[in-house]
């Protein structure tokens, strides 16, 4: 929370993974009928994590929903399809990586610069606000939470700090990639006169350029670009337009600091996106950059995913809860063996 990112608690993640693991084992052994309450509980856990998992929480539970709709009653069992099983496998493999990324509390949306009205408020735990022109255009919004030290400050300080953060974020989102100035200069250099009909279209053009990608994609690219901007600015060079050799050295810096392939690919896409929407040549197409990107796939450290061993205690807990099957636990030769005896 102090990082400004919402994440699911480890306890909830572990609970979901345990149920998915036992579900996978049962399905592997040919069990296809499950109590509808169990399937509904599984889907409910995934949907409850939607603030972090995003739209995938609903998109990747559609077939599980279809299984629930087949029920004769809430006490009946339903047939689980292969598609529904694959959704469960998806969540077993992906929920931890989604949670690692989290969801940022600070949310910014693009709008055209003009005269704005600023509204903000702050409480003992968080703050929020928005900027609007008073028109029907979507306002620029921002919200977040206070750290423990900030919560101890006075209410006046928190109110003023909320306004400050709102305005700082507002400036960053509009000037962070200099899109407005770049498009305006390009329009004027093309011979279009200020005040003409075509000139008045350029703010809408900026908005469409930003909306050429989905909101989540734009946020990811923008954040990746800002990290590149901070790095290269500290080295005394320009981030936009960037020199290919500078980008290649930046990727080398990331690899030198043990970055995995994911942030390196994000860095390339973020820099590429910022240049493309500003009508600039793409420095990431240079062979220096593409070669280092390919090299990162082989030399970058890979995140190990530890396999979880299922214990007798886990099976006993889940069987007592789900009432789906009985089992007998044998212990011998230092290993645990389980015999499944079907439905109760």
**Please, what's the b/e burial string for 275-295 (b: 16 or more CB within 10 A of its CB; e: otherwise)?**
bebbeeebbbebebbeebbee
Query: Helices 10-28 and 312-322: crossing angle, nearest 10°?
Result: 80
As given in the structure block, the two tokens for residue 119 are 């509204």
In a domain, 75, yes or no: yes
Same domain, 10 and 102: yes
Claim to verify: residue 156 and residue 201 sit in the same structural domain: no
Picking from 90, 108, 126, the residue at the C-terminal end of a domain is: 108
pLDDT score at 193: 85
- Cα 169 from Cα 167, distance rounded (Å): 5
The predicted structure's pLDDT at residue 330: 44
273 found inside a domain = yes
The DSSP code sequence of 49-113 is THHHHTTHHHHTTHHHHHHHHT-SSTTSEEEPPHHHHHHHHHHHHHHHHHHHH-EES--------
In a domain, 310, yes or no: no
Q: Into how many domains does the chain fold?
A: 4
pLDDT at 340: 45
Q: How far is CA 302 from CA 90, 94, 194, 298, in A?
A: 20, 15, 53, 9
For 156, phi and psi rounded to 5 degrees? Answer: -65, -45
Do residues 87 and 131 both lie within one domain? no
CATH number at residue 222: 1.10.150.130
The parent domain of residue 135 ranges over 117-175
Residue 321 lies in a domain: no
Question: Residue 324 domain-assigned?
Answer: no
162 in a structural domain: yes
Please report the pLDDT score of residue 84 as a whole number.
92
Are 9 and 104 found together in one domain? yes
Instruction: Check whether residue 156 and residue 190 sit in a common domain.
Output: no
**Same domain? 23 vs 104:** yes
User: Are residues 124 and 141 located together in one domain of the fold?
Assistant: yes
For residue 169, is the peptide bond before it cis, meaning its omega torsion is within 30 degrees of 0?
no
Domain-located, residue 314: no
Residues 89 and 149 in one domain: no
In a shared domain, residues 205 and 261? no
13 in any annotated domain: yes
* pLDDT (0 to 100) of residue 246: 92
Q: Tokens in use for 287?
A: 């062979």
Same domain as 16, residue 98: yes
Q: Among 194, 210, 226, where does a domain finish?
A: 210
Statement to judge: residues 104 and 9 lie in one domain: yes
pLDDT string in tens for the chain (344-residue length): 455 678 889 999 999 999 999 899 998 888 989 999 999 999 999 999 988 888 888 888 999 999 999 899 998 999 999 999 999 999 999 899 888 888 766 544 444 444 556 788 889 888 888 776 554 445 667 778 888 888 888 988 888 888 887 776 665 444 445 566 777 777 888 888 888 888 888 778 877 776 777 767 777 888 788 888 888 888 888 888 889 999 999 998 888 888 888 888 889 998 998 888 878 888 999 988 888 888 888 887 766 555 566 677 776 666 666 554 444 444 444 444 444 444 44
228 in the same domain as 168? no
> For 223, phi and psi rounded to 5 degrees?
-65, -40
């Amino acid at each position: 929370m102090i990082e400004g990112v919402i994440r699911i608690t480890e306890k909830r993640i572990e609970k979901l993974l345990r149920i998915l693991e036992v579900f996978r084992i049962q399905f592997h052994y040919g069990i296809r009928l499950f109590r509808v309450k169990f399937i509904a509980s599984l889907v409910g856990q995934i949907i409850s994590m939607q603030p972090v998992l995003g739209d995938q929480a609903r998109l990747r539970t559609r077939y599980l929903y279809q299984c629930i709709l087949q029920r004769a009653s809430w006490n009946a069992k339903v047939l689980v399809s292969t598609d529904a099983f694959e959704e469960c496998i998806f969540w077993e493999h992906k929920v931890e990586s989604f949670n690692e990324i989290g969801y940022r509390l600070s949310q910014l949306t693009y709008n055209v610069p003009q005269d704005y009205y600023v509204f903000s408020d702050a409480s003992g735990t968080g703050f929020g606000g928005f900027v609007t022109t008073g028109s029907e255009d979507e306002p620029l919004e921002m919200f977040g939470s206070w750290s423990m030290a900030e919560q101890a400050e006075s209410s006046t300080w928190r109110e003023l700090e909320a306004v400050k953060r709102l305005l700082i974020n507002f400036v960053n989102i509009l000037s962070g990639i200099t899109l407005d100035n770049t498009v305006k200069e390009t329009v004027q250099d093309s011979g279009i006169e200020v005040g003409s009909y075509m000139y008045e279209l350029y703010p809408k053009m900026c908005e469409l350029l930003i909306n050429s990608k989905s909101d989540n994609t734009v946020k990811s690219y923008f954040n990746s670009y800002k990290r590149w901007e901070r790095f290269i600015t500290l080295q005394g060079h320009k981030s936009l337009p960037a020199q290919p050799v500078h980008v290649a050295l930046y990727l080398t810096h990331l690899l030198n600091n043990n970055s995995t392939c994911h942030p390196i690919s994000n860095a390339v896409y973020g820099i590429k996106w910022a240049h493309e929407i500003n009508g600039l040549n793409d420095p990431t197409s240079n062979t220096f950059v593409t070669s280092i990107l390919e090299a990162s796939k082989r030399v970058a450290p890979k995140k190990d995913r530890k396999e979880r061993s299922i214990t007798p205690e886990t099976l006993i807990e889940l069987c007592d809860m789900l009432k789906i099957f009985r089992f007998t636990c044998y212990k011998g030769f230092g290993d645990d063996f389980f015999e499944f005896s079907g439905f109760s």
